[in-house]
């Protein structure tokens, strides 16, 4: 029996159709997929098309329906930015590699910075190496939230090509971008840390820039830099981290520095036991 909300999606007022997309997203029934696709493609109201994209994205990878991919990709060309942003978000949640090239195009060319930002986030979630160079380009986007998202996404992908551009991003005028760049090295470390001894050799060029970042005017940047130094500096980082723990004016920076030192000391102990 057809869900009553599917009928509402087809025949109701704009408000009823929009509410139907929300209810169908919560229900998560396969019967809703094709009607939501039809709404995404054909509904005259941008609010309903946006709701349909959100609903399709809410299924994510857990209940992945391949038929939703192409309509969501088509929605990246919708005239309304809110529809495009929801389509980008949905594609990021679904995580299918078919969306990589269309998302790269959105990252490079969309006129709305929120869409470019969400495209960067989606590409980081998908983790495809085709996105690395476009994300590096996005580190110079005119909008800070796009640059910050690009830095974070590059950390998630953890491709060696991004290391030098991320080091440059530590000098960005915007603290949020510097946070994204500093935190990206933590993501690199978590990606490679189980397979590499500390410090991770490929990250060696980031050591001095991260030491400099410990003196950043933003406490958030200092915290991210302190934690990333676990993987970038190894035992060399204990001295600078100790100075930070003892002297930083921000309580939470001191806490993170202390925890980073403890993490490094634990690693040293485990390495010593392994070599015995």
What pLDDT shows up at residue 74?
A: 98
Cβ-proximal residues to 114 (8 Å cutoff; 6+ apart), any chain? 81, 85, 145
Confidence class for position 54, pLDDT limits 50, 70, 90? very high
Distances (CA, A) of 52 to 38, 39, 66, 184: 9, 6, 15, 33
List pLDDT tens digits, range 227-273.
999 999 999 999 999 999 999 999 999 999 999 999 999 988 887 66
CB contact burial 67-85 (16+ within 10 A = b; e otherwise): ebbebbbebbebeebbbbb
Average pLDDT, rounded, for the chain: 93
What is the pLDDT averaged over residues 180-189?
Answer: 96
DSSP type of residue 79: S
Phi-psi region of 69 (alpha: psi -120 to 50; beta: other; left: phi over 0): alpha
List pLDDT tens digits, range 211-226.
999 999 999 999 999 9
Cβ-proximal residues to 247 (8 Å cutoff; 6+ apart), any chain? none
Distant-in-sequence contacts of 35-40, Cβ < 8 A, 24+ apart: 35/6, 35/9, 35/10, 36/9, 36/68, 37/67, 37/68, 37/71, 38/10, 39/9, 40/71, 40/72, 40/75, 40/87
Hunting for tokens 């994510």 — which residue is that?
60
> CB of 40 within 8 A of CB of 72?
yes
Helix (H, G, I), strand (E, B) or coil at 63: coil
Confidence class for position 65, pLDDT limits 50, 70, 90? confident
What is the pLDDT averaged over residues 104-133?
Answer: 98
Round to whole Å and give the CA distance between 33 and 26.
Answer: 12
Domains located in the chain, CATH noted = 1-94 (1.25.10.10), 96-157 (1.25.10.10), 173-276 (1.25.10.10)
**What pTM was computed for the model?**
0.93
């Amino acid at each position: 029996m057809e869900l009553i909300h599917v009928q509402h999606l087809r025949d109701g007022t704009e408000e009823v159709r929009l509410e139907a997309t929300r209810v169908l997203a919560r229900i998560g029934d396969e019967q809703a997929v094709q009607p939501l696709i039809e709404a995404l493609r054909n509904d005259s109201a941008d609010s309903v098309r946006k709701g349909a994209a959100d609903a399709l994205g809410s299924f994510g990878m857990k209940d992945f329906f391949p038929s939703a991919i192409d309509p969501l990709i088509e929605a990246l060309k919708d005239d309304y930015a809110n529809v495009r942003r929801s389509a980008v978000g949905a594609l990021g949640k679904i995580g299918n590699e078919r969306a990589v090239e269309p998302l790269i195009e959105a990252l490079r060319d969309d006129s709305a910075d929120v869409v470019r930002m969400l495209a960067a986030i989606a590409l980081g979630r998908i983790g495809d190496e085709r996105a690395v160079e476009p994300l590096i380009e996005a580190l110079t986007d005119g909008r800070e939230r796009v640059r910050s998202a690009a830095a974070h996404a590059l950390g998630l992908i953890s491709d060696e090509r991004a290391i030098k551009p991320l080091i440059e991003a530590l000098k960005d005028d915007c603290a949020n971008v510097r946070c994204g760049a500093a935190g990206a090295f933590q993501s690199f470390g978590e990606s490679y840390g189980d397979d590499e001894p500390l410090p991770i050799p490929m990250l060696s060029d980031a050591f001095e820039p991260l030491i400099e970042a410990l003196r950043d005017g933003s406490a958030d940047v200092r915290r991210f830099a302190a934690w990333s130094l676990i993987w970038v500096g190894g035992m060399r980082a204990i001295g600078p981290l100790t100075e930070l723990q003892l002297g930083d004016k921000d309580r939470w920076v001191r806490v993170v520095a202390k925890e980073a030192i403890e993490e490094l000391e634990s690693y040293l102990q485990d390495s010593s036991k392994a070599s015995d």
